[in-house]
Structure 1
Amino acid sequence: MKLAVLVSGRGSNLQALIDACAAEDYPAEIALVLSNKADAYGLERARQADIPTAVLSHKDFADRESFDEAMSAKIEEAGAELVCLAGFMRLLSDGFVRKWRDRLINIHPSLLPAYKGLHVHERAIEEGARFSGCTVHFVRPAMDEGPIISQAVVPVHPTDTPDDLAARILEQEHVIYPRAVKFIAEGRVRVSAERVLINDHAVPDGAMSNPAG
């Protein structure tokens, strides 16, 4: 399966996908890394791995819809079948999300539906959450909503700063994102009544990871 990965920054989840795709038995390859920022380090990661890149500045477009249409054209030109958001800091238009419905995934640093949006680690600590984590989900028009594919649970320690918690969660993001893509590329994932069903998976390698267990 050919992937298009959208980034706006350092691209650590992109690197996790690059590393996964380097394995001979991994069922996907990255056909394009696209960014809305020319200085995004994720583009350099792609160049180092000889992956095609593209830059489209949203500032060059009159509105979100025309920018998203240009992104779609680049993605289709690359032959991508699945779009992976990896720190892409732009809200997507409803038209883009509809066009790529069930072929567009995101990773969010909380256990959705808890802590949607920004400043998730600060909010989890402030509210005394005992556990947090990360979620891979299909994208829907509303922010941080959509059928959940995979999650990982991470403990929140009493002494945690937001940076401490973010670093611990990021480690698990790098585990579950490539795994979710693998399940999709193998044809084991389907959406029914806005819930994800994953076929033929053993419990240890399934849709929930609990490193704290």
Structure 2
Amino acid sequence: MTSPQLTIDVWADVLCPWCYIGEHRLSTAVAQSPYADRIEVKMHTWQLDPNVPTQVTWIPEYRVKKFGVTPDQARAMEKDVAGQAAADGLSYVLDRPVRNTLDMLRLVHLGNEHGVGARYMAAMQAELFGGNPDAFGHDTLVRLGGKLGVPAAEIRDVLATDRYRDAVQADHAAAVALGARGVPFTVLGDRFALPGAAGLRQYTDAVARAWKQING
């Protein structure tokens, strides 16, 4: 890629379904831009729920406990999002695993060191929302990172330590300072902020507007 002339900063969590959908739409908008080779997407992290246990549970149970809804209501919430994911051509399994995402988010920062943070995030989301029961497993995370060129030894070192914990916290603080109250949160060219998962047209228009404002 040539030197970027537009940087797009994205804050997301692996567990967040709207991040999963929003990132896909943004990637599509960037790919369709005539300036795609001069646009860089930087991935930042935001842990939605630090209190999620480190033991794997399942999304219906998680929603019932977190939101105080009935199992039927939890499933209805999932079906609504699943419909939107399907419309975007994304896999979305209703009964999928849930676990604390701090390890995954720390690996996104490792991925950033290798220039593949956004792709690492997307790969982990695809594994999770695709329903892999071992989506949080260390072997899975090593496999996904390895496909992107991240050395297995570095991934295992991160998983065995607290490396990048401070970076996750710093990313969250930076987003809050910019006015974020949740994710996905997207900032284009340090000028335009898009809170929430926008539609493809909104992302496309925002990319074009940011490019014009910055590059004339």
Q: Which has the higher contact order (CA 8 A, sep 6+)?
A: 2
Higher strand share: 1
